C-alpha cells in the first residue's frame, strides 16, 4: 500500500500517521520528495481501514498495490483448482457442460430434457426451482416440488444437479436436493447469502453481477471462501453496457483475466449473456477458445411455450449439434467434452 501525503502535510502529522500504521503491524518507508511525502507500507495491511486514512486532511490518496482477495488469489495458490462433484470435475481437462431448462416446469418437461442433454454430452443438469424474475407477476418457479423433480431427474440420468438459491433461509433445504448451489447475478453481492453458502458443504456456482467488476466478483468469491467453503466456480454471464441488441454484453476478456488472477474454475453462460438462441453457439465457442472451463446452457424442447427464457433456449436437437461444434474448439484447447 502506498500513501501520498498532501504537499502541505506537517512533519508531526507524518510522524503521527507513521506511528499509527506501525502500531497496526506494518513497516513504513518514508520518502520525502520535492512536493510530496510518500509512505510505502510493507507487510500485512489487512487491518488498515483505507477510508479512515483517506479521511485525514493531510492525506492526498491511498493506493492499494496488492489485491484485496487472498484465498481466491492465484498468487497464494498457483495451481488450478479442480472441484469434484460426484464423479465429475469442474476445472480439469474435461469441460463442465451444465445444461437444462431455465425453470423446472413439470416432471415430464425436466426428465425429457435431462435425458436429451445427457445423450448430447452434458455432464450436469440445471433447472431453476426458485426463480429470480424481474416481474412479480412472472412464473416464480415450482419451489420444493421443483427440487423433488430435479432429484428424480438425477436418479434417472445420474447428472448432478445445479439450481439457484436466492435466500439464506433456503440454503439448508436446497442443499438436501442439489449438488451445486447457484448464486445468481442479482445476488452476487448478497453478503449474508454468500456467508451462508460459505458454511455449507456444496459446490457454489457464483455468477457475475450484471454491473459488477471482475474484482467485485472475486471479492464475492472471497466472502464464500472466508467462511471455509473453497469449492467456488465463477461464471461470466454478460454485463450491462450501452448495447441493447443483446440481453447483456458477454465480457469475453473477463475469462483470461480471471484465469490469470484466480485459481478458481471459470465457466461462461452465453444464454443469459445474449438472450438469443442463435448467438449461444458462436459465443460458447469463443468462450472455450479463450480458456473457459465450461458452459451453462439453457435447453428447452418447446422454447415458444417455455415459462422462462424461451428466446435464449436451444432445442435438444440443436444442443446436440452445438456440442459437436464446441467440441472442435475444445480439442484445439487440449480440453475434452
Ligand atoms: C439463471 O441461470 O437462471 C439466471 C437467472 O441467471 P443470472 O442470474 O445470470 O441472470
Ligand atoms: Mn434463464
Taking the CA of residue 309 as reference, the ligand 1 atom at the shortest distance is: 3
Residues with CB under 6 A from ligand 1: 102, 128, 132, 164, 184-186, 207, 237, 269, 272
CA of 299 to the centre of ligand 1 (A): 14
**What cell was used for 323?**
456440442
Neighbours of 70 (CB within 10 A): 14
Out of 212, 237, 238, 309, give the residue to mutate to test ligand 1, the one with the largest number of ligand atoms within 8 Å of its CB.
237
Q: Ligand 1 centre and the CA of 146: distance in Å?
A: 16
pLDDT by residue (tens digit) across 295-326? 999 999 999 999 999 999 999 999 999 999 99
259 CA → ligand 1 middle, Å: 22
Supply the residue whose CA is at minimum distance from atom 3 of ligand 1: 102
From 164, 188, 189, 239, mutation site for ligand 1 pocket: most ligand atoms within 8 A of C-beta: 164
Contact present, 118 and 159 (Cβ < 8 Å): yes
| Ligand that lies nearest to the alpha carbon of residue 238, given by its number in the listed order | 1
Q: Which ligand is nearest to the CA of 130?
A: 1
Q: Do residues 102 and 130 make contact, with C-beta atoms less than 8 angstroms apart?
A: no
pLDDT tens, residue order, the chain (337 aa): 999 999 999 999 999 999 999 999 889 999 988 888 999 998 888 788 998 999 999 999 999 888 889 999 999 899 999 999 999 999 999 999 999 999 999 999 999 999 999 999 999 999 999 999 999 999 999 999 999 999 999 999 999 999 999 999 999 999 999 999 999 999 999 999 999 999 999 999 999 999 999 999 999 999 999 999 999 999 999 999 999 999 999 999 999 999 999 999 999 999 999 999 999 999 999 999 999 999 999 999 999 999 999 999 999 999 999 999 999 999 999 999 9
Closest-approaching ligand to the CA atom of 187? 1
8 A C-beta contact, residue 263 and residue 79: yes
Atom of ligand 1 nearest to the CA of 235: 9
The closest residue, in CA terms, to atom 6 on ligand 1 is: 184
Domain 83-332 has CATH 3.90.1170.40: no
Q: How far is the CA of 36 from the centre of ligand 2 (A)?
A: 53
C-alpha 128 to ligand 2 mean position (Å): 8
Q: Do domains 2-63 and 83-332 have the same CATH topology?
A: no
Angle at 249 between CA 131 and CA 216, to 5 degrees: 70
What residue segments make up the domains of the chain, in order of their start? 2-63, 83-332
Per CATH, domain 2-63 is 3.30.70.1140: yes
**pLDDT given at position 149:** 98
| pTM given for the model | 0.92
Rg (CA), the chain: 23
| CA-nearest residue, atom 8 of ligand 1 | 184
Question: Could you identify the atom of ligand 1 that is nearest to the CA of residue 186?
Answer: 8
Distance CA 99, CA 103 (A): 11
Contact indicator for 161, 179 with CB cutoff of 8 Å: yes
**From the CA of 184, which ligand is nearest?**
1
Q: Which three cell numbers stand for residue 265?
A: 474454475
Amino acid at each position: 500500500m502506498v500513501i501520498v501525503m498532501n504537499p502541505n502535510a506537517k512533519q508531526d502529522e507524518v510522524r503521527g500517521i507513521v506511528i499509527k500504521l506501525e502500531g497496526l503491524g506494518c513497516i513504513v518507508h518514508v520518502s520525502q520528495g520535492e512536493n510530496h511525502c510518500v509512505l510505502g507500507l510493507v507487510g500485512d495491511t489487512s487491518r488498515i481501514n483505507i477510508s479512515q486514512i483517506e479521511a485525514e486532511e493531510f492525506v492526498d490518496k491511498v493506493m492499494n498495490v496488492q489485491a484485496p482477495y487472498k484465498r481466491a488469489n492465484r498468487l497464494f495458490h498457483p495451481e488450478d483448482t479442480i472441484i469434484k462433484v460426484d464423479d465429475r470435475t469442474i476445472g480439469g481437462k474435461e469441460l463442465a457442460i451444465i445444461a437444462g431448462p431455465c425453470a423446472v416446469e413439470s416432471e415430464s418437461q425436466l426428465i425429457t430434457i435431462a435425458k436429451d442433454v445427457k445423450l448430447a454430452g452434458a455432464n450436469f443438469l440445471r433447472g431453476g426451482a426458485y426463480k429470480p424474475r424481474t416481474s412479480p407477476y412472472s412464473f416464480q418457479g415450482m419451489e420444493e416440488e421443483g427440487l423433488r423433480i430435479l432429484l428424480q431427474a438425477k436418479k434417472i440420468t445420474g447428472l448432478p444437479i445445479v439450481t439457484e438459491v436466492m435466500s439464506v433461509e433456503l440454503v439448508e433445504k436446497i442443499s438436501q436436493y442439489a449438488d451445486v448451489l447457484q448464486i445468481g447475478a442479482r445476488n452476487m453481492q448478497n453478503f449474508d447469502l454468500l456467508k451462508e453458502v460459505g458454511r455449507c458443504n456444496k459446490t457454489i456456482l457464483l455468477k457475475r453481477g450484471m454491473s459488477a467488476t471482475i474484482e467485485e466478483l472475486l471479492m464475492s468469491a472471497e466472502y464464500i471462501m472466508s467462511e471455509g467453503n473453497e469449492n467456488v466456480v465463477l461464471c461470466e454471464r454478460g454485463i450491462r453496457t450501452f448495447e441493447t441488441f443483446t440481453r447483456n454484453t458477454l465480457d469475453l476478456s473477463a475469462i483470461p483475466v480471471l484465469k490469470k488472477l484466480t485459481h478458481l474454475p471459470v465457466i461462461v453462460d452465453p444464454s443469459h449473456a445474449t438472450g438469443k438462441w442463435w448467438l449461444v453457439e458462436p459465443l460458447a465457442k469463443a468462450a472455450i477458445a479463450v480458456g473457459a472451463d465450461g458452459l451453462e446452457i439453457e435447453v428447452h424442447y418447446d422454447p415458444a411455450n417455455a415459462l422462462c427464457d424461451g428466446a435464449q433456449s436451444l432445442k435438444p436437437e440443436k444442443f446436440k449439434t452445438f456440442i459437436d461444434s464446441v467440441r472442435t474448439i475444445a480439442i484445439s484447447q487440449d480440453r475434452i467434452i
